[in-house]
């Protein structure tokens, strides 16, 4: 789809059924409660869009640009789970002693066992979330400059768009 780069973003807002959107929005609500407080609205939004675009890039890298329709917020949601998991781990919290560990494992299991679920979107999102979360959610003992927690997701957003354009041609 030449020159239709908006699809990298709009795909994250299209869903295939009520259960699909309900699950994504429930997880987004839970992860938003967890992450928005420490990050603030702007950085949370930047993280969300970095993960969304990381998921779109993952689709292109793993599944290719001609594999059919893709949609849903799950790439971004997986990214938020990845960021939260890395942030908790860096603070010494075992995610398997929280609901996040089980939720992440169940969703990964579903990703790889149910046909029609976008493996690339989920893996791309979680990878981007882990990368961004490692800087944005650093523990107090390893405090990063605040400007870095804005710069990292912006670089991730730009990098994902550029890499997607290069892949598609």
Provide the annotated active-site residues: 74, 122
CB-based burial label for 42 (10 Å; 0-12, 13-18, 19+): exposed
Q: What is the DSSP string of 97-146?
A: GSHHHHHHHHHHHHHHHSTTS-HHHHHHHHHHHHHHHHHHT--GGGPPPH
Find, among 126, 125, 121, the residue nearest to 70 by Cα.
121
């Amino acid at each position: 789809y030449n020159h239709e780069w908006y699809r990298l973003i709009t795909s994250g807002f299209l869903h295939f059924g009520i259960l699909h959107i309900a699950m994504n929005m429930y997880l987004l609500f839970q992860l938003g409660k967890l992450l928005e407080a420490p990050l603030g609205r702007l950085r949370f939004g930047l993280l969300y869009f970095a993960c969304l675009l990381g998921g779109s890039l993952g689709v292109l890298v793993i599944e290719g640009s001609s594999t059919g329709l893709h949609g849903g917020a799950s790439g971004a949601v997986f990214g938020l789970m990845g960021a939260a998991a890395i942030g908790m781990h860096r603070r010494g919290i075992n995610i398997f002693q929280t609901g996040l560990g089980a939720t992440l494992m169940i969703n990964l299991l579903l990703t790889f066992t149910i046909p029609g679920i976008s493996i690339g979107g989920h893996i791309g999102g979680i990878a981007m979330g882990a990368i961004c979360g490692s800087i944005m959610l650093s523990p107090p003992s390893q405090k990063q400059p605040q400007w870095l927690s804005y710069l990292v997701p912006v670089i991730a957003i730009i990098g994902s768009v550029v890499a997607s354009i290069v892949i598609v041609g």
